[in-house]
Structure 1
Amino acid sequence: MAQLIATAFVSQDGVMEAPGGEDGYRNAGWTFKDIDFVEEAYELKAMEQQQAGSLMLGRRSYQAFAPVWPSMEAEFPRYNAMPKYVVSTTLDPADLVTDWGRIDILRGVDDVAAAKDQASEPIIIHGSGELVRSLTDAGLVDRFHLLVFPVLLGAGKHYFSAADKAAQRLDLVDSAVYANGVQKLVYDVVR
């Protein structure tokens, strides 16, 4: 069974919306506004690409990444080559791009569990807040890779679920703090 790893940029107060500048959010681009670029803060992203066996995205993240990532061969060579899963109840196979390798549509939590059972290498989920919240609530996420930025955003889409549920313990397995205030936090989910 593959390890399911959720990775994201989050604000100190847990917001994950529009870190790169996507339209429609008042604080779009918050990962680079008034925060110095420190290369080593992003080494986690390179490691993820090397360790992952497949990439999983929710529909909205897929629709944001699919027009851009296939042309970014220098930045994402392994992601572009590896199999991908898109979790969506609305996408039709005809809606998928044809220049990004194998892409399978999964229709829900049960399909994700089956894909996880069949895979042998880690599956990494980028962004995809709604999907991560759903899979976390279903007990399918095994690890979180977070880059926490020193900013409070208040309103916006939060990375973690607000569902009323039993506490879920996390085990910190790696961490670092960088000169720009960004924190790397890697947690395993304790079962």
Structure 2
Amino acid sequence: MRTLIVTEFISLDGVIDSPGGGSHPRAGWTFKDVPFVEEAYEIKGREQLEAGAMLIGRVSYDEFAPVWPSMDDFAEYNEMPKYVVSSTLSNPEWHNTHVLRSLDDVAKLKQGDGAPILVHGSATLAQGLAAAGLVDRYHLLVFPILLGDGKRLFGSGDPHTRLDLVECEAYSNGVIKQVFDVVR
């Protein structure tokens, strides 16, 4: 069975909305509001090398697909299989992208053999995966900023879930890497 990892940039108050750009009033908050410290992003490079597939929602696909294919920093992501959970997307143009219609399809994908599946962005998808018991691990880069409003990783109706901290490191810019395994 494959491991499903939700990986997010997250504010101290739980917002994951528009960390690099997008529609949030503070879009780009990871780079505009917090000084860049290269070692804080080590986990992002490690994820690309270890992952076997990327799973995203439709909104994240619409934001990533026009930009990521031309970025050398995302070469591994661009080559690996990408899965978009969407009831409306057809004929995705991003290289090696496949459409899944439901969380049941995600569960079937997870049952196969292979390297981990990374979930980027998509608060709605991450919450749905958690509610369905499909998330195995969280990779969080927690930024020392309060955004107030915006899409959150954890919703008010999320199921009671115990997490084990398996990796943690603080960086000079105040960012904290937290890696949690979901306890079943």
Q: Residue 154 of structure 1 is aligned with which of 131, 148, 151? A: 148
Instruction: Say which of 90, 103, 110 aligns to 2:104.
Output: 110
1:101 paired with 2:100, answer: no
Contact 2:17 2:27 in 1 (8 A): yes
2:58 is matched with: 59
Offset at residue 33 of structure 1 (A): 2.3
What is aligned with 1:13? 13
Change beyond 3 A, Cα 1:177–1:101: same
Match of 2:183 in 1: 190
Aligned to 2:161: 168
> Where do 4+ consecutive residues of structure 1 move more than 4 Å?
none
TM (normalized to structure 2)?
0.97
Among residues 155, 166, 172, which one is paired with 1:179 in the alignment?
172
Q: How many aligned positions are there?
A: 184
> Which residue identity lines up with residue 77 of structure 2 in the other structure?
Y
Correspondence for 1:127: 121
28-37 vs 170-179, which deviates more? 28-37
Query: Secondary structure of the equivalent of 1:160?
Result: coil
Distance in 1 between the 2:34 and 2:24 partners? 18
Identify unmatched segments of 5+ residues in structure 1: none
Tell me how far apart the structure 1 counterparts of residues 137 and 24 of structure 2 sit (CA, whole Å). Answer: 28
Cα RMSD between the aligned structures? 1.1
Take 1:75 and 1:164, find their aligned partners in 2: how far apart are those partners?
Answer: 33
Gaps of 5+ in 2: none
